[in-house]
């Protein structure tokens, strides 16, 4: 009985594998086209993420530069909370850039 069960499992597995191979062979052009389409979409999303990170970094750089100018020209006294917030934002953006760099590699 056990031999018949093993033989049946083998035959069923071979039939499913054969059907999958036939499907892949028959529809390989469609599958390749879909894979290329997905790659293009993922590439666009990747570029959009990099552009978004660049814009955030540019905005933060401008904010930091304006803050530094205010404090160096004596317009305002430095606030520890504001400096802490800037440093936290810089740390967060560094982590995002590291993550995006790792994803780009």
Spatial distance between the Cα atoms of 9 and 4, rounded to a whole number of angstroms: 8
Dihedral over Cα of 60, 63, 67, 72: its sign: positive
Spatial distance between the Cα atoms of 103 and 59, rounded to a whole number of angstroms: 22
Phi-psi region of 45 (alpha: psi -120 to 50; beta: other; left: phi over 0): alpha
Spatial distance between the Cα atoms of 70 and 85, rounded to a whole number of angstroms: 16
Domain ranges of the chain: 29-104
Is 19's pLDDT higher than 70? yes
Q: What is the pLDDT of residues 82-96, one digit of tens each?
A: 778 777 877 787 787
Spatial distance between the Cα atoms of 62 and 59, rounded to a whole number of angstroms: 5
Which of 26-30, 63-67, 90-94 tops mean pLDDT? 26-30
Give this prediction's pTM.
Answer: 0.38
Is 1's pLDDT higher than 70? no
């Amino acid at each position: 009985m056990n031999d018949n069960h093993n033989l049946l499992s083998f035959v069923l597995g071979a039939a499913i594998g054969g059907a999958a191979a036939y499907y892949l062979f028959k529809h390989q052009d469609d599958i390749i086209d879909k894979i290329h389409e997905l790659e293009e979409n993922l590439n666009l999303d990747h570029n959009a993420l990099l552009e978004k990170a660049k814009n955030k970094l540019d905005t933060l750089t401008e904010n930091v530069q304006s803050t530094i100018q205010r404090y160096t020209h004596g317009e305002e006294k430095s606030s520890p909370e504001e400096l802490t917030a800037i440093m936290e934002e810089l740390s967060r953006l560094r982590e995002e850039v590291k993550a995006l760099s790792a994803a780009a590699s």
